[in-house]
Chain A
Amino acid sequence: MAERSPWAEDRARAIVDDHRAMPGALLPLLHALQEEFGCIDEPAVPLLADALNLSRAEVHGVVTFYQDFRRTRPGRHVVKVCRAEACQAVGAESLLDHVKRTLAVSEGETTPDGAFTLEAVYCLGNCALGPAVMIDDTLHGRVGPARFDALAKTHRAEDPA
C-alpha cells in the first residue's frame, strides 16, 4: 500500500519542478502527483496549468479523460477486478458481483472502513489465468470468490488497527 500524504503545496511544487522540463510532461506529472497524494487534488490543476503554460480547462480535460486519475483519495487498498472478455469466459461477472456484495460497494466506491476502493478494469494481461484481480500493484490469478475473500481478509489484517 502506498503512503498517501495530504495535499502539500511545496511538495507538489517540488514534484512539478522535477518533471516540467520533460517533453509531454503532463501525464508523468499527474502520475507522480497521484503517487504522492493518492489523487489529483483541486489545487493541483492551477499549479500544473501555470507550470506547463496550459489553461486550467486543458489540464482539467486531461485529468478527466483518463480512468486512472482520481479526484478523491482512495481507500487503503485499490482492488481492480478485470471484466474483459477472457476473464468473462471464466466467470469474471459473477466474481465482480461477489466482490460488490461482500464489500458492499459499487465500482468507484470505497468501503466505509476505508480499507478498499473497488474499480472495474479491462484486462490486466493475465488472460490465461483468469479471473484476474489486482490489489494495489500486485496481480492475482484464478481468483474465485473464496480466494477473493481470503485476499481481502489478509489485506485487512495487515492494516494498522
Chain B
Amino acid sequence: MSTPRVFIPRDAAALSVGADAVASAVRAEAEARDLAVEIVRTGSRGLLWLEPLLEVEGPDGTRYAFGPMTPEAVPELFEAGVPAPDTAHPLALGPTEAIPYLADQHRVTFSRCGIIDPLSVADYRAHGGFAGLDRALTMTAEEICAAVTDSGLRGRGGAGFPAGRKWDTVRTAPGETKYIACNADEGDSGTFADRMLMEGDPFLLIEGITIAGLATGATEGFIYMRSEYPHAITTMRDAVALAEAEGWLGDGIHGTDRRFHLHVRVGAGAYICGEETAMLESLEGRRGQVRAKPPLPALEGLFGKPTVVNNVLTLAAVPDILAFGPDVYATFGVGRSRGTQPFQLAGNVRRGGLVEVPFGISLHDLVYRFGGGTASGRPVKAVQAGGPLGAYLPEHLFHLPKDYEAFAAVGAMVGHGGLVVFDDTVDMAAQTRFALEFCAIESCGKCTPCRIGSQRGVEVIDRIVAGEDRDANLALLDDLCTVLADGSLCAMGGLTPQPVRSALRHFPEDFDRPPHTGTARQAAE
C-alpha cells in the first residue's frame, strides 16, 4: 500500500488558527504508531471558517475534509490504524469538493490553491502550470495582447481598466527598457485573495507576470508586496528562486532565448502605496506620494519607463486565458464584466472565505448562500463592498448583481472583491467617522481636501453625533464630501465620500440619535 497522504495548509490564515499544531499532532501520532504518513503542506482551500482544514487522501485520490481541526482531534483520525477518509470522526466533512461552498464555485484562478504544494514546480506542472507561458512563447507580443483584450479581462485592483489595452499601450510605447510592476499591496480591509494566491499558488503569478513581459517587451519585473504579509513575502521569494533554478525565470526561459527577471520588493505600511503611481514612487525609493496623470504609467512609469501596473489577480488570470483561449474566459460573466472574480467574505460572517464565481452573482447570494449570514447570528445590517473607500450597502440593495457597471450605478464599486459584513449592532456614524479618520491617517498629503478636509470631517461627525447643530453640520459634511470628491488628485480622497454618503443615505437613523443614548451594540451587551 502506498504511503497515506494528509494535506494541511501552510497559509497564514490557517496558521493563525493553529494549522502547525495540527500538523505536529499528525506527525506525533504517526510516529507513535510507527506509521509512514506523508504530510503535504498546501495553500488554503479558502473555506476559512473551517481552518485548520485537514484533508486525507482516499484510495482513488479523492480528498476528504476534516475541520476545523484541533490537535486533540487528531488521534481519532487514526482509529482505523491509518488516517482514513471513511471515518465517523466528529469533524468529518466528506469529500472536500462536495462541500457546497466549494462545489458551487467556479474556480479558475484559484483552481490549484489548496491542492498543490505551492513550492513544487513539479506539482505545479502536473496540474497544468506553465501551459499558458509555453503557449505565449510561441506567440508574438501583439498576439498575446490581442488574446488578453479578447478575453475581456479587466483590472482586479479596483478600477477595472481593460488589461489588454494597457498592455498594448506599453507594447507600442517607444523605448528599449520597460517594466512590469505587480501591485501586491492589497491594503483594503476585507481582502486577502492576493495573499492567498501568493501563498498557495505563487508560480501562477510568476507565470502571469512573465507573460506580461513577453507581451510588452519588458524583461524585468517587480512585485510590490505589503510588509504586513511576512509569510507571503517568504513564499513569494522562495518561489522566485525556485523558478529561476528550474529555468522558468531569468535568461533563457524554458529553453528559449527569451529572458525575464523578477524581484520581490516590500512596502512599509502605507495604504496609499497601493495607488499605482504612489507604488512606483515607493519602488523608486521615495515617499509614496501620488503622481499627477498624465503621463500614464504605461508611457512613463517606473524610473520613467513604460510600465504595466497590474494587480496580482489580473496577472494571475492571464495564464488560463492563454492556455484555454480568450473565448473560454469570456464565456463567464455578464455585460462588460467578463470572467470570474474571487470575492472575499469577511467581517461578521458565519462562513468567511474566498468565493470565486463568474461576475453577475448577487450580493444576497454571496452573503447568505455562501456566507450563511452573520457569525453572531444577529441580522445583517450593512455590507461594505470594495474596501475602505467602498459604499456601505443596506439589505434592500443586496439583489444587485456583482458587475462593475451595476455597482457604479448606485455609487458603489466591486473594487478588489472584498465584502465586509456587519450585524445590527454596528453604529454607522462610527463607521463614517472611521472612514474619514482613515483618509486623514493614510493621505499622502498632496491635496488639501484629502489631508485637511478629512480631519475636519471627523470633527463634524463628532458634532453631529453630539447633537450640536445637526442640520447645519450635516450640510457641512455634505459640502466636505463634494470638495473631497471634486478636489482630490486620486481616489483616496476622491472616493472617501462613498462610505460617508452611503452611510448617511441608507442609515440616517444612526446620525440622529439623542446624545448619550448609546449604540445598538451597547444595548446588545
Contact = CB atoms under 8 A, between A and B. Distances in A.
A143 to B, nearest CB: 9
A30 B186 CA distance: 21
A24 B13 contact: no
A129 B17 contact: yes
A103 interface: no
A121 B266 contact: no
B345 A122 contact: no
A150 interface: no
Interface string B410-438: 00000000101111001000010010001
A86 B269 CA distance: 18
Interface residues of B, number: 58
B21 to A, nearest CB: 12
B189 interface: yes
A139 B420 contact: no
Contacts of A26: 285-286
B188 A27 contact: no
A126 B266 contact: no
B147 to A, nearest CB: 31
B48 A129 contact: yes
Given A26-B285, A87-B189, A127-B189, A141 B347 contact: no
B231 A137 contact: yes
Interface residues of A, number: 43
Given A24-B285, A129-B13, A129-B16, A86 B268 contact: no
A24 B347 contact: no
A90 interface: yes
A17 B55 CA distance: 47
B420 A127 contact: yes
A128 B353 contact: yes
A38 to B, nearest CB: 15
27 contacts: A23-B303, A24-B283, A24-B285, A27-B266, A27-B283, A28-B266, A31-B266, A62-B285, A62-B287, A65-B270, A84-B388, A85-B189, A86-B190, A88-B347, A122-B442, A125-B228, A126-B12, A127-B189, A128-B48, A128-B344, A128-B352, A129-B13, A129-B17, A138-B15, A139-B16, A142-B16, A142-B17
Given A86-B346, A90-B348, 6 more contacts: A25-B285, A66-B288, A68-B267, A88-B347, A126-B192, A129-B17
Interface of B: 12-13, 15-17, 48-49, 51, 186-192, 195, 227-232, 265-271, 282-288, 303, 344-349, 352-353, 375, 384, 388, 418, 420-423, 426, 431, 434, 438, 442
